[in-house]
Amino acid sequence: MKLVRLATENNGVFQSAFGNDMIIEKNSQMALLNLTFKSNIGTFLVIPPSANIQFQSDTLDADTRQTVTMQQREYSVNELEQYFKDLQHTLNSTLKDENSIGINNNLGYNSVFSCFRIGTDDAGFKTVEYRYAPFINPIEDFASPISNYWTWYNTFMNPVITGGVGQKVTTLQKQVGQPATTDRTYKFLPFSGRRLNDGNSLFTARILDLTTNGGTDDDNGFGIGLSKTNLGVNFNNTADIPPSARDFEIRVNRGGEHYQYIDDGADEKTSTVLPERYDLGNYPEPNVHDVLAFNVSGNILKMGIYQDKGPGFYAPLAEVEIQPGEELYPYLYIRGASTNCQVDMVNFSIDPFLPSIGGNERGNDEWQITGTDDTARYNGYDDVIEIVLLEMLCHKWEKDLKMDLQK
Amino acid sequence: MPQVGERFEDGSAKMTLTMKTELLQGLGFRKGFAGVIGAPIDRSRPVPGFKVLTAQGLPPAYSSDNFIVESMTLPLDSFDASKTQYPSDANVVVNPQTDKKGRRKNILMTIPVNNNNNGLVEYESSTPIFIDINNAEDINAKNLNFRILNKDFSPIVQADETAIMSVLIKKPGE
């Protein structure tokens, strides 16, 4: 009997050349005695240094290009889903405000409100999907009235839609007679899991009219928030929004009182920013009123107020880095009575990969492009959108571009 | 001046996505894929502004395995039936829905061992199973070559440690 020992570093291929005779007699037999090796099977993927991802939303404009680097690490076979999540997150970090508009500050470029997704097709193959994210009015989709994206209690809340086609305006307020409150029971919450899109996104609300009720309590204004919890599940008409679900918030109470905010899921913090323009009595033209905004750019959540203090003036409150896999659900609550607090121009860019109601389960097929005929253009805010908000939201954006902030 | 929607609507928008090859292979894009995706943002789906890039294969992740040790120089009296299709002119009675294609392969041993945490395989045969070489004459085998394969006969990727294998060869009557 012979024992032959072999070794290799060549991906499991053993090759030998014996200098002496190796006679194998007629009708011999062979067996494996032992084998030791290490495969890369336990390691699914090794992300090397400088694993760059470059996304250019317009091949004709280098200023729409963004390069990011995926963090170097190893993924085991048990971390497959984590890899997909991290890769999606890294892809979405390429979508930034400053790279979405190109060298000519052109809002027409396509990474204004858009997102990537790592998906799976019917055959089980992974996909890299990129899609535009429409900036919608969550109260009423004028193209498809059944497709509201927020839910609320009609006894408490009174969203008023006025104007005909081309002039529709949505104003949010409490029902007449409902009292001022200090909690978040008067609320609009996500319906059917509608949430902010990953990638480049925006959530805004404007103070239409804010007057003081004469008191000193926190019962006068309204707040907008982003929760990591899908708050609309099992909607309770009269329940407060639980503290554990208040991840990010911006709240205004009354003129002369600083904006409040939450940036860490804990208690409210007092900012140094005061409301600038907020009441129709002193400023009858709402175009100049403060706009509360959440904006995600390059996976950084920016919280702040756009104010009429010069072109594109923005008062930042806080910035927080979004983590892989985090989902953000927009909500709004009102504390002041209808005589003291009214909110309008409430919009957010929505996750376009959520299934439509009764439609394509792999991605909503109802939303049209922002700016096309059957959606947001037909409303009463075109002048605001084109002349004022574009300057306020981003001073780079040009006045004559047509972006819709209200359906 | 284009609107937001126009570049999606008229199909003129063209994006470029460039990714490191390793990142794409982790999704199942085949080796040799350029790693650069330049594609118009088209209306291939029933919605506008939607681009889908689909991998050609499944992600290369194995949670279980059954390695094959194959002789590359000496013929062995071993067989494998793992292929799924027969050629249409095959002279066999077969149910293509259930039957696998059989063939002779020089398999020395199959090893249903794997550590999914670190990829380490340490196999020791307590009772070596001898396979016939069926050599009709004596052979002076100065070259003994073997290889370790994945369960689908694809080459393994070896980590940065030397692989060691010991084989026994016995003559008739031993």
Residues constituting chain A: 407
- The pLDDT of A267-293, averaged and rounded, is 93
- Enumerate the β-bridge partners of residue A302: A295, A319
Nearest to A110 among B19, B49, B119 (CB): B49
- The enclosing H or E element of A393 equals helix A390-393
Q: Specify the 3-state DSSP secondary structure of A313.
A: coil
Subunit contact A126:B143, Cβ cutoff 8 A: no
The encoded tokens of residue A44 equal 């699914």
- How far is Cα B141 from Cα A75, in angstroms, rounded to an integer? 42
Residue A344 lies in a domain: yes
The answer to whether residue B11 neighbours chain A at the CB level (below 8 Å) is: no
Q: Which of B6, B12, B14, B15 to mutate to test the interface with A (most CBs of A within 10 A)?
A: B15
* Percent of chain A predicted with pLDDT > 90: 46
Which residues pair with residue A38 across a beta bridge?
B120
Residue B165 sits at the chain A interface (C-beta within 8 Å): yes
Whether B64 and chain A come into contact, CB under 8 Å, resolves to no
Beta pairing partners, A156: none
pLDDT, average across residues A187-206: 89
Residue A26 lies in a domain: no
Residue A99 lies in a domain: no
Taking the CA of residue B93 and the nearest CA in chain A, the distance in Å comes to 30
**A113 domain residue, yes or no:** no
**Looking at per-residue confidence, does A10 or A382 come out higher?**
A10
The Cβ of residue A96 has, within 10 Å, a number of other Cβ atoms equal to 20
Write down the pLDDT at residue A369. 46
Both B120 and B67 in a single domain?
Answer: yes
Task: Fill in the DSSP letter of residue A322.
Answer: P
* B154 and B80 part of one domain: yes
Strand partners, A36: B122, B164
Domain-ending residue, one of B28, B58, B88: B58
In single-letter form, the type of residue at position A103 comes to I
Contact across the interface for A31 and B54, Cβ inside 8 Å: no
The answer to whether the pTM exceeds 0.80 is no
pLDDT level of residue A78 (50, 70, 90 thresholds): confident
**Residues B84 and B147 occupy one common structural domain:** yes
Residue position matching structure tokens 């104003």: A171
Question: Is residue B28 within 8 Å of A126, Cβ to Cβ?
Answer: yes
- Is residue A116 in some structural domain? no
What pLDDT, on the 0 to 100 scale, is given for residue B43? Answer: 39
Give the model confidence (pLDDT) of A117-174 as tens digits. Answer: 898 877 778 888 887 777 777 876 544 444 567 889 999 999 987 766 555 678 899 9
Q: Based on the domain organization, do B29 and B76 belong to the same domain?
A: no
Chain A residues inside the 8 Å CB shell of B145: 13-16
Residue with the bigger pLDDT between A343 and A168: it is: A343
Residue A8's contacts (CB-CB under 8 Å, 6 or more residues apart) are: A14, A15, B158, B162, B163
Instruction: State whether B77 and B158 are in the same domain.
Output: yes
Pairwise CA distance, residues A227 & A242, whole Å: 10
Intra-chain end-to-end CA distance of chain B, in Å: 89
Residues B3 and B83 in one domain: no
How many domains in chain B?
2
Clarify whether residues B79 and B137 are in a common domain. Answer: yes
Q: For residue A371, what pLDDT is reported?
A: 40
Residues in contact with A134: Cβ distance below 8 Å, sequence separation at least 6, in sequence order? A113, A349, A350, A352, A367, A368, A369, A370, A375, A376
Helix, strand or coil for residue A407?
A: coil
Min Cα distance A325 → chain B (Å) is 17
Domain span at residue A360 reads 133-393
Tokens of A259: 């904006």
Q: DSSP of A242-303, one letter per residue?
A: PGGG--EEEEE-STTS--EEESSSSS-EE-SPPP-S--TTT---GGGS-EEEEEEETTEEEE
User: What CATH number is attached to the domain comprising A172?
Assistant: 2.60.120.200
Q: Is the pLDDT of residue A386 over 50?
A: no
Is B12 found in the same domain as B68? Answer: no
| pLDDT (0 to 100) of residue A41 | 67
Residues B132, A4: contact at Cβ < 8 Å? no
Q: Tell me how many residue pairs between chain A and chain B have CB atoms under 8 A apart.
A: 393
Q: Which of B132, B140, B167 sits opposite A4 (nearest CB)?
A: B167
Q: Taking CA atoms, what residue in A is nearest to B116?
A: A42
Of B140, B144, B174, the CB nearest to A6: B144
- The single-letter DSSP state of residue A45 is E
Asked if A4 lies within 8 A of B166 by C-beta distance, the reply is: yes
Query: Which runs of consecutive H residues, i.e. helices, occur in chain B?
Result: 6-9, 21-25
B79 and B165 fall within a common domain = yes
Domain closes at, from B14, B35, B58: B58
Name the nearest CA neighbour of A378 among A351, A405, A350, A407.
A407
Q: Would the CA dihedral through A357, A359, A360, A361 be positive or negative? A: positive
The pLDDT value recorded for residue B48 is: 47
Smallest Cα distance from B67 to chain A, Å: 10
B126 and B74 co-located in one domain: yes
Dihedral of CA atoms A231, A235, A240, A243 in degrees, nearest 10, equals -20
Cα–Cα nearest to B135, from B88, B170, B104? B170
Q: Determine whether B81 is exposed, middle or buried from the number of CB atoms within 10 Å of its CB (0-12, 13-18, 19+).
A: exposed
In percent, how much of chain B has pLDDT > 70?
61
Mutate to test the interface with B, among A1, A36, A366 (most CBs of B within 10 A): A36
Q: Which of B9, B39, B58 is where one domain is finished?
A: B58
**Within the 116-155 window of chain B, which residues sit less than 8 Å (CB to CB) from chain A?**
116-125, 128-149, 155
**Identity of the residue in A108, A363, A368 whose CB atom sits nearest the CB atom of B7:** A108
Bridge partner residues of A189 (DSSP): A151
Residues B123 and B171 in one domain: yes
Instruction: State the Rg of chain B over Cα.
Output: 25
B63-106 pLDDT tens trace:
557 889 999 999 899 988 876 444 444 454 555 555 566 778 89
- Predicted complex: ipTM over 0.90: no
- Judge: A76–B117 Cβ closer than 8 Å, yes or no: yes
d(CA A404, CA A307): 19
| Element at A346 (helix H, strand E) | strand A341-349
CA end-to-end span of chain A, whole Å? 86
Gap between the Cα atoms of A39 and B160, Å rounded: 9
pLDDT for B116 beyond 90: no
Cβ <8 Å between A363 and B119: no
- Is there a single domain that holds both residue B130 and residue B78? yes
A188: amino acid identity, one letter: F
Contacts of A238 (CB under 8 A, 6+ apart): A153, A156, A185
The domain total for chain A is 1
Closest CA to A10 of B162, B80, B171, B50: B162
B1-32 burial, b if ≥16 CB within 10 A, otherwise e?
Answer: ebbbbbbbbeeebbbbbbbbbebbbbbbbeee
Task: Name, in order, each residue with C-beta under 8 angstroms of A257's C-beta and a sequence gap of 6 or more.
Answer: A274, A275
Token pair of A393, please? Answer: 């939201």
Domain residues for B36? 1-58
Residue tagged 């890369």 (tokens): A40
